[in-house]
């Protein structure tokens, strides 16, 4: 499941992020309402776009909604309830968290949300890869390698580029590595090494706190 959160205030966006995480929804991106939505939507398909802001006006929401694919369900959380155009509206600070939780979980149980996977081209065919199966991703110049146990798939991309579509259980551990947190068995501080289920990778000082904070060890 992929969700895009758009809001004026960081605090509002963080509240929605925490709500999603508490409901086991980790694949989301959060951006300010002044950012270019097209930059995100042209590369990634989102099941939902959540607009939140106490003073976010209907006109602005509708303008931003025009940048979204028709298949994306739009949810507005604001005090301006004059929004229509097939937008689901919840009143800001009037039980919107509970209502949003109920709505999202209803969609999950009806299998509305897409699974987390990608297609990569191998010769003349496309191979389906489940993101949760990836142990780590390694960068090598203009290419990256997806490591899934004994299987490896290389594609022309960058770590910065692939990060845009990865769920929140992936984290940068090194300038050349992104690791799946669910695959980590242990972290060796002195050796600056991360032991995974099927292999091991280094982590750097630059990304040490980034890694440890995800385990509340920072």
List CB contacts of 83: < 8 A, sequence separation 6 or more.
Answer: 58, 61, 62, 76, 89
Do 54 and 83 belong together in one domain? yes
Give the pLDDT confidence score for residue 113 in this predicted structure.
Answer: 41
- The CATH number of residue 196's host domain is 2.40.50.1020
Do 56 and 102 belong together in one domain? yes
Q: Tell me the angle at which helices 10-22 and 96-109 cross, rounded to the nearest 10 degrees.
A: 40
Give the pLDDT confidence score for residue 79 in this predicted structure.
Answer: 77
Which residue ranges of the chain lie beneath pLDDT 50? Answer: 110-114
- The CATH number of residue 84's host domain is 3.40.50.2300
Where does a domain end: 90, 109, 128? Answer: 109
Domain that holds residue 12: 3-109
Element of type H or E holding 164:
none
Do 157 and 211 belong together in one domain? yes
Beta bridge partners of 6: 31, 51
Give the pLDDT confidence score for residue 184 in this predicted structure.
Answer: 94
Do 98 and 132 belong together in one domain? no
Where does a domain end: 65, 88, 109? Answer: 109
Name the pTM for this structure.
0.51
pLDDT in tens, 133-151: 999 999 988 899 999 999 9
The overall longest dimension of the chain from CA atoms, in Å, is 58
Do 210 and 123 belong together in one domain? yes
Where does a domain end: 74, 109, 144? Answer: 109
Q: Helical H runs in 85-131?
A: 96-109
For residue 169, the SS3 value is coil
Phi, psi of 7 (to 5 degrees): -160, 155
């Amino acid at each position: 499941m992929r969700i895009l959160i758009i809001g004026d205030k960081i605090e509002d966006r963080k509240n929605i992020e925490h709500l999603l995480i508490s409901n086991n929804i980790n694949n989301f991106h959060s951006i300010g309402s002044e950012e270019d939505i097209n930059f995100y939507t042209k590369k990634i398909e989102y099941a939902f776009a959540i607009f939140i802001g106490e003073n976010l006006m209907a006109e602005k929401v509708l303008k931003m909604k025009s940048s979204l694919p028709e298949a994306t369900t739009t949810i507005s959380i604001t005090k301006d309830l004059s929004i229509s155009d097939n937008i689901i509206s919840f009143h800001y600070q009037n039980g919107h968290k509970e209502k949003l939780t109920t709505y999202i979980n209803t969609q999950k149980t009806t299998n509305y949300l897409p699974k987390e996977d990608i297609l990569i081209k191998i010769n003349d065919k496309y191979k389906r890869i489940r993101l949760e199966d990836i142990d780590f991703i390694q960068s090598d110049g203009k290419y990256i390698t997806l490591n899934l146990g004994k299987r490896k798939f290389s594609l022309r991309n960058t770590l910065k580029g692939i990060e845009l579509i990865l769920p929140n259980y992936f984290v940068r551990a090194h300038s050349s590595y992104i690791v799946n947190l669910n695959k980590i068995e242990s972290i060796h501080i002195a050796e600056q090494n991360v032991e995974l289920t099927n292999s091991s990778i280094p982590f750097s000082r630059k990304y040490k706190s980034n890694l440890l904070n995800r385990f509340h060890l920072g």
